[in-house]
Structure formats: structure tokens, C-alpha cells
Amino acid sequence: MIRRDGDRMFVCGAVTLQNVTGLLQEGLVCIRDGVSTVDLAEVSGLDSSLLAALLAWIREARSTSHPIALANLPKGLTTLAQLYGVEELLPVAELH
């Protein structure tokens, strides 16, 4: 599930192969509508499908010349990104 607060999109709950298709589409709508930060603090479980969705959202944001940043990456996601060699593709938000 996705919850939006201004220009911030919160991904909530588990993100797995079973639910990623709907989540991906919902996120793309938010990205096209101007979201600038994807916050993952409320992700309760994940598999590699979350990484795939994030990469798709990043690609979509770049294609619209409105890049996004990722906040509160779960450790498991960071581990998967390192494993697949794509960690440098994840634009991590700077903490203020």
C-alpha cells in the first residue's frame, strides 16, 4: 500500500511478488504527480520485487526530469542492492 503526504510517498506493509504489480502502478501514478521522496520506513517485509519497483520508479522519475530520492531504506533492501550490484543506482535522501 502507498500513502502520500505532499511530495512524499510512503510505502507501507510487506512488498513481495504477490502484491508488487499493484504497488508498482500506484507508485508510478504518484511519481508522475510530482512525488520527490519515497519513504520506506513503514515497509514490514520485502523481497527483491521491492528493489525492482524502486528501480522502475527511479527510471520513471528520471524520464520526467523530476528525480526522486529514497528515504529510510530497510537493511534487507540495502543487502539485496549490494548483492545485485545496483546499490549506486539508489538515490538515497540526505538526512537533515
pLDDT in tens, 58-87: 999 999 888 899 999 998 999 999 999 998
Smallest CA-to-CA distance from 34 within 64, 1, 10 is with 64
Using N-to-C axis directions, what is the helix angle for 48-63 and 20-32, rounded to 10°? 20
- pTM summary value: 0.91
Domain boundaries, the chain: 2-89
Helix (H, G, I), strand (E, B) or coil at 88: helix
Residue 96 confidence (pLDDT): 46
CATH class belonging to 2-89: alpha beta
Where residue 13 falls among pLDDT bands split at 50, 70, 90?
A: very high
Residue 74 confidence (pLDDT): 92
Q: Pairing between strand 69-71 and 8-15?
A: unpaired
40: phi then psi, degrees, rounded to nearest 5: -105, 15
Q: Is the pLDDT of residue 8 over 90?
A: yes
